[in-house]
Structure 1
Amino acid sequence: MKTIEVNKVSYTYKGKTILSDVSLLVEEGDTFALLGENGSGKSTLIDVILGDITLSSGTIQVFGKTKPNFKKIGVVYDHLPFFPLLKVKEIINYFAAIYGVSASEVYEKYKVVFRLETIYESHIQQLSQGEKKRLAIMLSLLGNPKLLILDEPFSHIDPTIINSIWSVLKSENRTILYTTHDWGAITQQANKVAFIRDGKMTGIPLDTSTFKEQLPGSKKIVTRYDDNVKNILTDYNYYTTSDENVHIFCDDKDKSILSTIAKHTHNFSIQDTDIQDAYLYNTKNI
Structure 2
Amino acid sequence: MAGKTLDSITSQDIAALGIPSEEAEKLHQTLLQIITSCGAATPQTWSRISKELLNPDLPYSLHQMMYYGCYSHFGPDPPAWLPDPENVMLTNVGQLLERRGKEFLGSRYKDPISSFSDFQKFSVSNPEVYWKTVLDELSISFSVPPQCVLYDNPSRENGLSYPGGQWLPGAFINPARNCLSVNDKRTLDDTVVIWHDEGDDGMPINRMTLEELRREVWYATFYLTTVLMVWKASKSGVFFVRSFFVALEAEGEVTLPSKIVWGSWPPTKVSFFCLGSNLGQILTMDQLKRGGWVLAGF
Q: Identify the TM-score tier after normalising by the shorter chain.
A: under 0.3
Larger fraction in helix: 2
**TM score, norm. by length of structure 1:** 0.23
Q: Which has the larger radius of gyration?
A: 2
By relative contact order (CA 8 Å, sep 6+), the higher-ranking structure is: 1
